[in-house]
A and B are shown apart, each in its own frame.
Chain A
Amino acid sequence: MGHCSLITSLIRIIARPKMHRNHLIILTLAASSHALIRFGCSQLVIDRLDPLVEPGNTPSSHLHQIIGGNSFVPDMSPDRHDPPSMSTCTTCQPADDFSNYWTASLYFRARNGTYKRVPQKGNVLFEGQNGGMTVYYMQDQLADYQQKSKVKAFQPVGTLPLTLMTRVLMSYC
């Protein structure tokens, strides 16, 4: 295999739910306290944009593969851009997850010096998705089968009430 540059960053814009959804979440979690959710998100776009590290820069310094809500734009400053109220659809399976998640893209360097982007694929049970990632929201880390931690309702922008993991699967053939 030739040289591969590393995937080194993943960013998530926190979507702030509306108040009535906060109450719904509290009630749901009170009824079912040991749970996690796992879902697939297909590719939204592959582009040189990074609203968190380089807001407004077109292009950003490197390429990203991006998933989630369709209000994704180069500058998503929270005072001007509210994904849950501005997105009308999402590439994620839950129709009301308008968050965006992105990572750098991985390239394969061939012996003749050309670069090819390494194809991505869906995880187990999500084989039909187009690239993208698997997203997990949990009370505790995935390996902890008890999932006993208490979960607070959504806090102000910038904080995360749950444990989040995402996985990117790639293979060249």
Chain B
Amino acid sequence: MIVGSPTASTRAEADKYPQLTYTCLQDMGTRFPETKAFPKKPCPAGIMVNLRFPT
């Protein structure tokens, strides 16, 4: 099974893959929100990528 596409680079293309989201970690307990776009600002505790199956 596969989530996402290496060639998706626009919002419209990303919208085809709702199973792939990002969480900007304010601390290690941050779980929301999940965004379709890669975080645009620094994330103090890092970035968490969430992937869901089945697609």
Contact = CB atoms under 8 A, between A and B. Distances in A.
Contacts, number: 78
Contacts of A9: 2-6
Contacts of B46: 121, 169-172
A25 interface: no
A18 interface: no
A139 interface: no
Chain B, interface size category, equals 20 to 34
Nearest to B13: A8
B23 to A, nearest CB: 9
A24 interface: no
A160 B48 contact: no
Interface residues of A, number: 31
Contact of B4 (A1, A8, A14, A61): A8
Contact of B49 (A7, A14, A53, A164): A7
Interface of A: 1, 4, 6-12, 14, 52-53, 61-62, 103-104, 121, 123-124, 141, 160, 163-172
14 contacts: A9-B5, A10-B3, A53-B2, A160-B1, A163-B53, A164-B52, A164-B54, A165-B53, A168-B51, A169-B25, A169-B47, A170-B46, A170-B49, A171-B45
